[in-house]
A and B are shown apart, each in its own frame.
Chain A
Amino acid sequence: MKKIINLKVNGDIYELAIEPWRTLLEVLRENLGFTGTKKSCGLGTCGACTVIINGSPVLACLTLAFEVEGIDILTIEGISQKGSLHPIQESFIKHGAIQCGHCTPGMIMSAKGLLDKNPHPNKDEIKKALAGNFCRCTGYKKIVEAVEAVSEGK
């Protein structure tokens, strides 16, 4: 049985009819076309689906869309604005922190969640903040360097 929901994604309100058991990840990708948020495990183990809700990184695959009705949801599509990339994105590109790129949007959202609260984290804080994000390609070294560089304004 579908119900009407109002979702606030990247500052815009979307009204749509969905089943109450749909996850935020499904609704973002399938109903709204925000496929920048990637789907991998669907179980909360990989962080590919990370979005920012109320300022904190959240796993969209473990969140029901109805739980976040009316709350500010920020997806990867919302962080680069007016055609210019977010400094974290720039830094990932510059430092070679992207390989296959499937984990990248989630990784960047986790990094943003950290840097918004703690603009100058140390290496360990960065590693902890990214511990929930699985990357099989890079070995994380360049990802941590990229986040560090943002915090140091490099």
Chain B
Amino acid sequence: MTIKPDKYSVVGKRLPRVDAAIKSTGEAKFSEDIILPGMLFAKVLRSPHAHAKILNIDTSRAEKLPGVKAILLNKDTEEIYAAPDETVLATDKVRFVGDEVAAVAAVDEDTAIEALGLIKVDYEPLPAVFDMEEALKKESPKVHEFYDDNIPDNINVSFGNVEEGFARSEYIREDRFVINPTHSCFSEHHMCVAYFDSSGKLTVWTPIQSSHFIQKNMAYNFKLPENKVRIKIQNVGGAFCGRGSDRTYHYIAALLSKKTGRPVKLRFTSDEEFLVYRGGGKYIMDFKTGVKKDGSIQAVYGNFTIDSGAYLATQFIVLRFLALNLQMLYKVNNAKCEGKLVYTNNPPYFFHHGAGMVAMRFAFGSQLDQIAQDLGIDPVEMNLKNAVTKGYTTPSKIHYASCGLSDCIKKTAKQSNWKKKYGKLPKLRGIGIGCGMIRSGGKGMFLYDTSAAFLKIQEDGTVHLFTGLPDMGQGSYTAMAQIAAETLGIRLEDIIVIAGDTEVTPLDIGAISQRGTFTTGNAVKAAALDARGQIAKLAAGKLETKPSNLIFRDGKISVKNNPEKAMNFSDAISEALNSTEGRYVMGRGFYNPPITAADPKTLEGNSSLAYSFGAQIAEVEVDPETGFVKLLKMTAAHDVGFAINPMAVEGQMEGQIFSGMGQTLYEECLMENGQVLNPSLLDYRTPRPLEIPEIESIIVESNDPYGPYGAKEVGQGPIQCTSQAIANAVSNAIGVRIKEVPITPERVLAALRSKDRDSCKP
């Protein structure tokens, strides 16, 4: 842990979160804790078939059940599309086990469940397809009629000239990697309360990462003015990229509320969470990389086949992120990406932990590690040799104004004792490195990437800060309050954050794409500077100096180089108000990074202003009897630009390493005929406290020139390194490369057996 010089008094400090006390007592409200008078409970009738025609739905018996207040079928959904290929309830066909067919609102959950049992649906089962390679065959059943095949999206992008790059290469390797479906496992399930009140205003309480998009979309779909859609994001029980915006369930609850005139709560059960889960889907990744004998990368070709499940959801964005990422971590002049999404009758997938990039980093990182082994190069050196650096511009024109990647690699290597351990550990012990990067917000989906903030200052100098950025656990309320407090020169406890309520807080694209600290942080800083400018003008007269000569710190406003001449911050505010002018101070600001979105076809352009980087070194031990891999230690470094709150940064790193370990060694949604076979935390194995590895976190500060106080993201950055580091350590331990995650005991034992077979060959 580096001790910071006292350049700042609030940012850069290990301060407890502003919302920790009420979270520790359970007072902090989650959407699920919203209980309104007259509230109804909704339940959704889901398809038991993976693919079937709906012939008839008979609701007559359910309607007669006392306590049932409304039944919703597709015909009642006002032709709303939750996504371009997805209606709110199934029209004439269901496409996966769990697809939504009808919904009921009743006085309590038991009645709603009973009513579902009374709805009779006649289905005509259709042939279904679950395997991507099967789905790609001509004769395969079509999941959606409006496509001739099951490929809703594909890309073919090149940067530089891969043919030339491969021609120049002295060593080329091709591998196929498979990444199996995983689940987000939020502690707080998907849910919402929706209420159309008598004025025609729709209020939705829901855990989500962006109130902006859901407000816009729901207003559009319900043909309401935007100010009549109020989204209230309460505390959010984890998100990990998986709670972007509006989904079908928001519309189901809202439509039921419209029908009944009462608030409606709809919450997924544990089963439903897994059934309709939209976690990370299955990826098949073919990688081909060419290098010189010294390990310098000459060309990379990635061919990705991604299961989209029954609907498109967000996977088309993933595809583009993956293509770009081929040339974002290493100095790769020639890269080409071909990829396609495949419709199947599996549940639809969604962003999950860094939008598919963890999968891609596992594959690419594993292949590079193998190339290093093949060529007898130390993997740390291999990573250092190719690492992007500050000032570098990638072939797709992404530019790094700050970059601590090499620092991260060197620091983790040193702290983990890499040199003493690599190749020198006892049998079945291994060490491996993984590197990663991710952007801090940016444009792409939209032309703008705006966050706005404002604050008002009470007469006693305390502040209300308003921001649209929700806190899903990442600690954004605290980070935003720290930035505002530092800028105004007051204490953290002088600030109260009001967030994520579209009726009160200003526009913010939300906590997506790791943009919070960087983008909203800049907006908050701008709002605080605006207020500070007003206060400085008022104080300058009193202190007989120029406003620019004033320093705001520790609750005082003082004159530069003359600290005796000072006044209290609160006095400045109070005196301004208690005057004939009666001045009241409010600050406002917004931030939209001055960049343009990448070209949608060529993907060229610098679509973000800041990028963060990391490296991790894993040490593992493999049990040859059981095949179980134990992660003993992870040494992790992350370049966050500047740590607004080092304790929160460490918390993010630790959490992501732990989750990344789960995804790499334990977690897999076992699928059979479109059904999740392990739909509960009992059967879907995630790591628990007994499996905590030793973690050493190193914060690298590259001081981003555009970040607030130099800060960048620590959103889904750290987890980018974890899978590859563990996989590389396993390969180092057992001498066989496992190219499929999770690296379960079965896969380890199979790998060990194949190695034995190979070594028995003459």
Q: Which residues of A line the B interface, CB within 8 A?
A: 19, 29-30, 33, 35-43, 45-46, 48, 75-77, 80, 85, 89, 92-94, 96, 98-105, 108, 126-128, 130-131, 133-144
Residues of B contacting A76 in the complex (Cβ-Cβ under 8 angstroms): 25-26
Residues of A contacting B187 in the complex (Cβ-Cβ under 8 angstroms): 38, 40, 46, 48, 100, 102-103, 134-137
Residues of B contacting A43 in the complex (Cβ-Cβ under 8 angstroms): 270, 680-682
A101 pairs with B654, CB closer than 8 A: no
Known pairs A102-B186, A103-B187, A134-B185. 6 more at Cβ < 8 A?
A29-B33, A45-B681, A96-B16, A99-B475, A137-B187, A144-B692
B238 pairs with A41, CB closer than 8 A: no
Contact of B651 among A77, A96, A101, A128 (CB under 8 A): A96
Bound together, the chains give a CA A141 to CA B21 distance in angstroms of: 19
Count of chain A to chain B residue pairs whose CB atoms are closer than 8 Å in the complex: 169
Contact of B235 among A39, A77, A101, A127 (CB under 8 A): A101
A131 pairs with B690, CB closer than 8 A: yes
A82 to chain B, nearest CB (A): 13
Bound together, the chains give a CA A135 to CA B475 distance in angstroms of: 16
26 cross-chain CB contacts under 8 A = A29-B33, A35-B32, A36-B27, A38-B30, A38-B188, A39-B32, A45-B270, A46-B187, A85-B21, A85-B24, A85-B25, A89-B24, A92-B24, A93-B16, A96-B650, A96-B651, A101-B23, A101-B28, A104-B26, A127-B689, A130-B688, A130-B689, A136-B240, A137-B651, A139-B654, A139-B692
Those of B131-184 within 8 Å (CB) of chain A: 184
Closest 8 CB pairs between A and B?
A36-B26, A100-B473, A101-B23, A139-B658, A102-B237, A99-B473, A45-B681, A102-B187
A40 pairs with B235, CB closer than 8 A: no
Main secondary structure of the interface of B (DSSP, over half): loop
Contact of A102 among B110, B238, B689 (CB under 8 A): B238
Bound together, the chains give a CA A102 to CA B688 distance in angstroms of: 16
User: Within 8 Å of chain A (Cβ to Cβ): is B29?
Assistant: yes
Name the CB-closest residue of B to A37.
Answer: B26
Listed residue (A39, A96, A104) with the most chain B CB atoms within 10 angstroms of its CB: A96
User: Within 8 Å of chain A (Cβ to Cβ): is B632?
Assistant: no
B27 pairs with A99, CB closer than 8 A: no
User: Within 8 Å of chain A (Cβ to Cβ): is B570?
Assistant: no
Q: Mark B450-469, 1 if CB is under 8 A from A, else 0.
A: 00000000000000000000
Name the CB-closest residue of A to B688.
Answer: A131
Bound together, the chains give a CA A26 to CA B20 distance in angstroms of: 25
Residues of B contacting A128 in the complex (Cβ-Cβ under 8 angstroms): 689-690
A102 pairs with B188, CB closer than 8 A: yes
Residues of A contacting B681 in the complex (Cβ-Cβ under 8 angstroms): 41, 43, 45-46, 134
Residues of A contacting B473 in the complex (Cβ-Cβ under 8 angstroms): 99-102, 137
Those of B647-665 within 8 Å (CB) of chain A: 647-648, 650-651, 654-659
Residues of A contacting B747 in the complex (Cβ-Cβ under 8 angstroms): none
Contact of A140 among B16, B30, B650, B689 (CB under 8 A): B689
A134 pairs with B688, CB closer than 8 A: yes
Listed residue (A30, A41, A130) with the most chain B CB atoms within 10 angstroms of its CB: A41
Residues of B contacting A39 in the complex (Cβ-Cβ under 8 angstroms): 32
Those of B469-511 within 8 Å (CB) of chain A: 471-475
Bound together, the chains give a CA A128 to CA B691 distance in angstroms of: 10
A114 to chain B, nearest CB (A): 12
Residues of A contacting B659 in the complex (Cβ-Cβ under 8 angstroms): 136, 139
Bound together, the chains give a CA A102 to CA B651 distance in angstroms of: 16
Residues of B contacting A143 in the complex (Cβ-Cβ under 8 angstroms): 689
Name the CB-closest residue of B to A138.
Answer: B655
Residues of B contacting A33 in the complex (Cβ-Cβ under 8 angstroms): 35
A40 pairs with B188, CB closer than 8 A: yes
Residues of A contacting B472 in the complex (Cβ-Cβ under 8 angstroms): 100
Listed residue (B28, B240, B472) with the most chain A CB atoms within 10 angstroms of its CB: B28
Name the CB-closest residue of B to A80.
Answer: B25
A76 to chain B, nearest CB (A): 4
B666 to chain A, nearest CB (A): 13
Name the CB-closest residue of A to B33.
Answer: A35
Residues of B contacting A131 in the complex (Cβ-Cβ under 8 angstroms): 688-690
A100 pairs with B651, CB closer than 8 A: no
A102 pairs with B30, CB closer than 8 A: yes
A97 to chain B, nearest CB (A): 8
B25 pairs with A36, CB closer than 8 A: yes
Residues of A contacting B695 in the complex (Cβ-Cβ under 8 angstroms): 139, 141
Residues of A contacting B651 in the complex (Cβ-Cβ under 8 angstroms): 96, 99, 137-138, 142
Bound together, the chains give a CA A148 to CA B640 distance in angstroms of: 29
Bound together, the chains give a CA A46 to CA B681 distance in angstroms of: 7
User: Within 8 Å of chain A (Cβ to Cβ): is B17?
Assistant: yes
Residues of B contacting A142 in the complex (Cβ-Cβ under 8 angstroms): 650-651, 654
Residues of A contacting B29 in the complex (Cβ-Cβ under 8 angstroms): 35
Bound together, the chains give a CA A140 to CA B26 distance in angstroms of: 19
B633 to chain A, nearest CB (A): 12
Indicate whether A92 sits within 8 Å of B689 (C-beta atoms), given known contacts A45-B680, A99-B475, A137-B655: no
Those of B621-657 within 8 Å (CB) of chain A: 647-648, 650-651, 654-657
Bound together, the chains give a CA A40 to CA B184 distance in angstroms of: 14
B453 to chain A, nearest CB (A): 22
User: Within 8 Å of chain A (Cβ to Cβ): is B19?
Assistant: yes
B693 to chain A, nearest CB (A): 9
Residues of B contacting A45 in the complex (Cβ-Cβ under 8 angstroms): 270, 680-682
Name the CB-closest residue of B to A96.
Answer: B647
